[in-house]
Every structure is written in C-alpha cells, then in structure tokens.
Structure 1
Amino acid sequence: MAWLFLGPAAAVLVALVVYPIGYSVWRSLFDARGDTFVGLDNYVRMFTDPSTFTALKNNVIWVLVTPAMVTVLGLIFAVLTERVRWGTAFKMIVFMPMAISFLAAGIIF
C-alpha cells in the first residue's frame, strides 16, 4: 500500500530531478554542437583552465565570507540599537531604507 503514496512522488522526483541530471551528464560528454562524442575532454579542459579556479575562489568568498560579514554587521547594529541613548532615531535611520523600498514596491505594483 505504501507504493501508492510513494509512486507519484518518486515519479515526479525522477522526472524533475534524476532525468535532467542524467541527461546533462550525458550531453556533457559531447562537443558543443552535440554530434561528436568527446568523452571526458570537456571536463579535462574545464579543470585545467585557470578561470575555473578564479570562479571557484569567487564562489567561496561569496558563500563563506559574505554571510559572516553580514552576520557581524547585523549583530553590531542590534547591539547599537539597544545601547544607544537615541535608540529610536537610530532605529529609524537604520530601518528607513527597508521601509522606503517596501513603499516603492507597493507603489509600483
């Protein structure tokens, strides 16, 4: 009886995830025109290209450094908001750009 519940979900998973991944891997074994089988040559060329390592380095920066910096800045703003004597004015200065952007989005739509 469980296969009746799992069957549709498994079919959707195969149709929307497994098949496209498999097809992409298969297509990556051909040249750009798609008519000549080149095997792993595309992967060899990709991993020996110096721009690949530059792209990986940039991705690591965006994935690791940027969230850490945003978290630190958010904590600093949170502490300043609570400890500053003129906290209400500081909160208004900090949060006004968000309110204005929501207002602008509301006016646009």
Structure 2
Amino acid sequence: MIAHIIAILDYVEANPLLVINLLASVLLLAHCLFRINKMDRSSNHAVRVFYILLGVGAAGVLLGPLYAYTRPQPAEVISNIGAAGLLWGGWFYRNRRASDVKERTP
C-alpha cells in the first residue's frame, strides 16, 4: 500500500501540470453533469449545447493519458483552471449559507 502511494507521489512530482489539468477537468465535468441534470424541456438550447461541449472537452482531457498525452501545454492547464474557477466560483456564490450577509434590494 505504501509503495503505491510512493509511486503516485513520484508521478505527481514528475507531472504536476498533468495532475492539475486532470483535477480541473474533473471539476468541469462534474459541474457540466450537474447543470445538464437540472435542465428540462424549457431550458435554453444554446446553454445546453455549451455545457455538453464543455463536458465532452473535459472528458477528452481525462481520457488523454490513455493515448500517451501526458505533457499538457501550460496554456491548456491555465484555461482549464480558469474555466473551472469561473463555473465553480459562481456555483459557490449562488449557494452561500443562509447566515451569510445577503445583498439587500431597496
């Protein structure tokens, strides 16, 4: 068990951009699946297509190591982190605790 953990840590140390890219892609895919699951017949079709394409792209990044794509470009990693941050940041903002100070409307 410890040998497996050491092997994983060595892999993370050798490929930090790949691990960050995979984590960002997992967040993107999870967000897309949650949003698509909440949609119904009256949902905007352009928004639905956006989330489907974003989810397919995230799944493609997750499948990349199966095809020996283990050295992602820094710009790809930055764009995945940025997209995941924007989508999850908005989700966290909308789902604040009830004890948080709400914006008052006059």
TM-score, normalised via structure 2 length: 0.29
Larger Rg: 1
TM-score, normalised via structure 1 length: 0.28
- Greater relative CO (CA pairs within 8 A, separation 6+): 2
